[in-house]
Amino acid sequence: MTSRTTRRLLAPVVAGAVAAAGLTLVNPITAADAGAGKGRARNVIFINGDGMAAAQREAARLYHAGLDGQLTMDELPVSGQLTTSPHDPKAPVTDSAAAATAWATGEKTYNGAISVDTAGNPLPTLGAQAKAAGKATGLVTTAQVTDASPAAFFANTANRSAQDEIARQYLEVTRPDVILGGGEDWWLPAGSPGAYPDRTAADPSEASKGTKGDLIAEARAKGYQYVSTADQLQAARGGRLLGLFANEELFQQRPEGEGDAYDPPASLATMTTKALDTLSKNRKGFFLFVEEEGVDEFAHENNGTRMLQALGELEKAVAVARNYAATHPDTLVVVTGDHECGGLTVEDTGTADESGDGISAEDGPFAIKGSNLSFNLDWTTSGHTGVDVPVTAYGPLAGEFTGKHPNTHVHDVLARVLTR
């Protein structure tokens, strides 16, 4: 059986299971509150759909909202485009580290760099600057909390792989008030598993691997409440919060039917809700970074079913942020992606597969919600591409994202809120 045929058989089955699991989305935006805020921003919620560009957003709209529906992230009243190219002597297409560095510092750099310039010198980050301005800070992700995108806002290192060093900097340098996601392996030394066992059947490669000692114990000593389950997260009350809900990512990023799974112990929307509840207690405001990593990771595997599932969970988190901003008009919400992944195109199911039966074979068909129509996803690569990414925004300063800008423009706008 060819790869293409396998995909066609698996996608409707797994997609049906996804729909049955309750991915129906509620769009909270009404005509009465659809305008961009014009007051002064005090809070920022910055949301990254890692690997998400226009085709991913359109596929999610068709699948989760239908032909005439809209996603919350697309109904935010201001929209624009961001370019994503890095300053890397070897590559014109960015990775997540260089892209997030552009957001967090306003400077472009080489792929793999975490908030250092092209010479390896550390750069000031928005997370650290927001903390210095007296704001509460936090990060929420379905990746490792020390993965490239969140790390760029709160750490400096020449190599994104130094995730235990990034964790150390969180605790000892930038001190985010809320840290929620995966990656427990990087917080504990080799041979010392924590809440999540080493080398499980789901992924025997995952095991504790830190070189900085027991950073969970250090976090507790510094006043963080540590949680590792959704129930513990729900019960957590006030103060600094560290939550690690998996050895690595909160999912298994594999091709369809080969052990792929997206069932986070704590959903992105749940973590976002808890983070907002905690950070909003600061009278000077807050900065919250939110990321859905599954869009990128499953696109790397050309796994359309799981990518759509991750996009649905991202949409729920956007709705949480948008609902918060609707009752807190001093909040700027920005939704974008760091780059595109997969070279994705949304196609009619009647078209031939120009890409062939390899890793870039078509996925589908996927049902269009509320319709008897369907669509295919056609991949051209398993890597990143250099296309522009959409950006949508709501609240004070949202209008600054109208038009086309380099990704460093994100820093320029957010800094106006977070550094004063």
pTM of the model: 0.92
Question: Does 300 count as an annotated binding residue?
Answer: yes
Provide the residue count of the chain. Answer: 420
Question: Does 50 count as an annotated binding residue?
Answer: yes
**E runs forming strands in 368-417:** 374-378, 384-385, 389-394, 403-406
Single out the residue of 314, 414, 305 nearest to residue 367, CA to CA. Answer: 305
Question: Does 291 count as an annotated binding residue?
Answer: yes
CB atoms within 10 A of CB 160: 24
CB atoms within 10 A of CB 265: 18
Q: What's the confidence (pLDDT) of residue 336?
A: 98
Q: Per the structure block, which two tokens stand in for 1? A: 């059986």
In a 13 Å sphere around the CA of 216, the CA atoms on its Cβ side amount to 21
Question: Does 184 count as an annotated binding residue?
Answer: no
Superfamily of domain covering 38-136+143-176+267-418: Alkaline Phosphatase, subunit A (3.40.720.10)
Q: Using 50 as the pLDDT threshold, list the residues of the chain that sit under it.
A: 1-24, 26-35
Residue of 3, 79, 85, 96 marked catalytic:
96
Question: Does 74 count as an annotated binding residue?
Answer: no
Q: What's the confidence (pLDDT) of residue 357?
A: 63
Question: Does 328 count as an annotated binding residue?
Answer: no
Q: What's the confidence (pLDDT) of residue 35?
A: 47
Q: Per the structure block, which two tokens stand in for 205? A: 């490669």
Dump pLDDT digits (tens) for 54-70: 999 999 999 999 999 99
Q: How far apart are CA 10 and CA 291, in angstroms?
A: 27
Is 96 an annotated catalytic residue? yes
Q: What's the confidence (pLDDT) of residue 10?
A: 43
Q: What's the confidence (pLDDT) of residue 190?
A: 93
Compute CA distances 336 → 7, 62, 309, whole Å.
28, 18, 18
Q: What's the confidence (pLDDT) of residue 1?
A: 38
Dump pLDDT digits (tens) for 245-289: 999 999 999 988 999 999 999 999 999 999 999 999 999 999 999
- Rounded (5°) CA angle 229-230-234: 120
